């Protein structure tokens, strides 16, 4: 009887279906949630330098961009569970294979391949999440899992590296993927609906109005991911022990859970521009404060401000794109655009490092945060006026 019940697929409205599918969607690019740990490992025991570590994770990000673009064309052609099983299985092999890659050039290509497979998994996972009965709950669960996993892994990594070796972070990635493979058979099939295809604007026309908003998303995520990639090395450079740095990142990362709840609590308010302004101000302040990381209090405050504001700002910007285009195409484009920012950040940061000096990188990121605000101001205000008018009707 028990075996029979476990073999049955979960219904689409079951809370475990939301949790399991969100976990699977996260697993493809799980490394983003504990990016400082990956950079620390690459620039530490694995043997690459700080610049090479940033470039490796950047190539991983560009691979995920390619994979997510390919996923757009696959989700309507193949059954999601079959493709996901294949991609996750291959990704697990690539992550484990990373343990034997020592050459820098080979590592760049190897992690690019991992990123492409991970991007495919995330793109397919997002399409499946959107087909659950309550997409808001689905993506909210995803965000919660991401920040929870990030904090837990960052806290546990020092102990895991002691028990295993410097490659422990890649064991963690492979573990998440293998667990996802086990969970897939229990999830509902979630077939595509047979609704007629709506008439849509040409891509160039669709992108015309929100182009500034998409550029704002790229700029904000570029600066945020640049800091996030090196926040661990910033702490180590300030003289803190590796265990302390991981603990600081893990604890302050929990503030991201609170930041993610701000859009949920505030709802669809025309005055979201003020909340976005506050979020970008916090991000800019974080970049400045981290220049004084030799003071533990400022190091912790800087990370807390960044981790709290990041999910809130990103959620609000994605919400605006969804309101501009109800068909969902623009939201898909915004998701792809976000990978551009997440991949570009570590590459930009690595090019701005100067013998362990992070000041140029951090002040550049502060200016990019301000640039993103100037780009989003007009489209967010315009959408706020549209929302106000609709509320009055």
The overall average pLDDT reported for the chain is 82
Q: How far apart are CA 70 and CA 247, in angstroms?
A: 37
Confidence of residue 260 (pLDDT cuts 50, 70, 90): confident
| Residue at 1 is within a domain | no
pLDDT at 230 over 70: yes
Residues 154 and 179 in one domain: yes
Residues 344 and 304 in one domain: yes
Q: Phi/psi at 93 (nearest 5 deg)?
A: -65, -40
Residues 231 and 368 in one domain: yes
Highest-scoring range by mean pLDDT, 64-73, 213-222, 241-250 = 213-222
The predicted structure's pLDDT at residue 102: 86
Residues 356 and 226 in one domain: yes
Q: End of a domain among 188, 218, 246?
A: 188
Residues 91 and 169 in one domain: yes
Residues 102 and 225 in one domain: no
Confidence of residue 195 (pLDDT cuts 50, 70, 90): very low
* 245 HSE (CA, 13 A, CB side): 22
What average pLDDT score do residues 87-104 get? 92
Domain tally, the chain: 2
What is the enclosing helix (H) or strand (E) of 36?
A: helix 35-42
| Residue at 243 is within a domain | yes
| Residue at 3 is within a domain | no
Q: Specify which residues 354 forms β-bridges with.
A: 357
Residues 183 and 226 in one domain: no
Distances (CA, A) of 114 to 45, 56, 94, 98, 323: 21, 11, 6, 9, 33
Q: How far apart are CA 205 and CA 166, in angstroms?
A: 49
What average pLDDT score do residues 141-166 get? 83
Q: Phi/psi at 357 (nearest 5 deg)?
A: -90, 120
| Residue at 217 is within a domain | yes
> Which one is predicted more confidently, 8 or 343?
343
Q: End of a domain among 164, 188, 212?
A: 188
Residues 157 and 280 in one domain: no
Q: Specify which residues 357 forms β-bridges with.
A: 354
The predicted structure's pLDDT at residue 200: 47
Confidence of residue 224 (pLDDT cuts 50, 70, 90): very high
Q: How far apart are CA 368 and CA 324, in angstroms?
A: 24
| Residue at 177 is within a domain | yes
- Is 0.85 topped by the overall pTM? no
Q: How far apart are CA 302 and CA 126, in angstroms?
A: 31
| Residue at 197 is within a domain | no
Q: How far apart are CA 129 and CA 176, in angstroms?
A: 18
User: Helical H runs in 184-295?
Assistant: 203-208, 211-237, 242-253, 255-266, 272-289
Q: How far apart are CA 26 and CA 179, in angstroms?
A: 12
CB 259 within 8 A of CB 312: yes
pLDDT at 216 over 90: yes
* pLDDT tens-digit readout, 25-56: 888 888 888 888 888 889 888 888 888 888 89
pLDDT at 243 over 80: yes
| Residue at 220 is within a domain | yes
Confidence of residue 256 (pLDDT cuts 50, 70, 90): confident
CATH of the domain at 280: 1.20.1250.20
Which long-range contacts does 93-102 make (Cβ < 8 Å, 24+ apart)?
Answer: 95/170, 95/173, 95/174, 95/177, 96/170, 96/171, 96/174, 98/167, 98/170, 99/167, 99/170, 102/47
Residues 242 and 119 in one domain: no
Residues 167 and 307 in one domain: no
The predicted structure's pLDDT at residue 175: 93
Residues 84 and 132 in one domain: yes
* pLDDT tens-digit readout, 352-388: 887 778 999 999 999 999 999 999 888 887 776 665 5
DSSP string, 131-151: TSS-HHHHHHHHHHHHHHHHH
Residues 255 and 386 in one domain: yes
The predicted structure's pLDDT at residue 91: 94
* pLDDT tens-digit readout, 311-341: 888 878 877 776 776 555 566 677 778 878 8
The parent domain of residue 47 ranges over: 15-188
Q: Is the dihedral of CA 34, 37, 42, 43 positive or negative?
A: positive
| Residue at 131 is within a domain | yes
Chain-centre distance for alpha carbon 245: 21
């Amino acid at each position: 009887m028990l075996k029979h019940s476990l073999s049955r697929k979960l219904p689409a409205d079951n809370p475990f279906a939301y949790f399991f599918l969100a976990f699977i969607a996260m697993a493809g690019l799980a490394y983003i949630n504990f990016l400082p740990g990956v950079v620390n490992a690459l620039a530490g025991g694995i043997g690459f330098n700080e610049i090479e570590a940033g470039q490796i994770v950047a190539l991983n990000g560009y691979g995920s961009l390619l994979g997510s673009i390919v996923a757009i064309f696959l989700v309507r052609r193949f059954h999601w569970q079959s493709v996901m099983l294949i991609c996750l299985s291959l990704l697990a092999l690539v992550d484990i294979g990373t343990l034997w890659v020592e050459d820098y050039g080979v590592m760049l290509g190897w992690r690019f391949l991992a990123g492409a497979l991970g991007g495919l998994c995330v793109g397919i996972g997002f399409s499946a999440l959107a087909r659950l009965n309550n997409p808001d709950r689905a993506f909210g669960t995803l965000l919660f899992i991401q920040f929870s996993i990030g904090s837990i892994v960052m806290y546990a990594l020092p102990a895991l590296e002691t028990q295993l070796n410097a490659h422990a972070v890649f064991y963690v990635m492979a573990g998440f993927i293998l667990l996802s493979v086990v969970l897939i058979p229990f999830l509902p099939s979630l077939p595509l609906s047979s609704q007629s295809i709506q008439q849509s604007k040409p891509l160039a026309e669709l992108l015309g109005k929100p182009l500034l908003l998409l550029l704002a998303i790229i700029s904000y995520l570029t600066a945020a991911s640049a800091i996030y990639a090196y926040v661990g090395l910033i702490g180590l450079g300030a003289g803190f022990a590796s265990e302390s740095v991981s603990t600081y990142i893990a604890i302050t990362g929990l503030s991201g859970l609170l930041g993610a709840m701000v859009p949920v609590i505030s709802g669809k308010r025309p005055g979201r521009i003020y909340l976005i302004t506050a979020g970008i101000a916090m991000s800019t302040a974080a970049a400045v404060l981290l220049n004084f990381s030799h003071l533990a209090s400022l190091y912790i405050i800087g990370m807390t401000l960044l981790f709290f504001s990041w999910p809130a700002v990103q959620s609000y910007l994605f919400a605006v794109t969804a309101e501009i285009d109800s068909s969902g195409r623009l939201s898909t484009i915004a998701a792809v655009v976000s990978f551009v920012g997440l991949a570009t950040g570590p590459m930009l940061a690595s090019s701005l490092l100067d013998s362990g000096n992070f000041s140029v990188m951090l002040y550049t990121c502060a200016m990019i945060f301000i640039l993103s605000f100037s780009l989003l101001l007009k489209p967010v205000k315009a959408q706020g006026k549209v929302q106000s008018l609709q509320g009055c009707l």
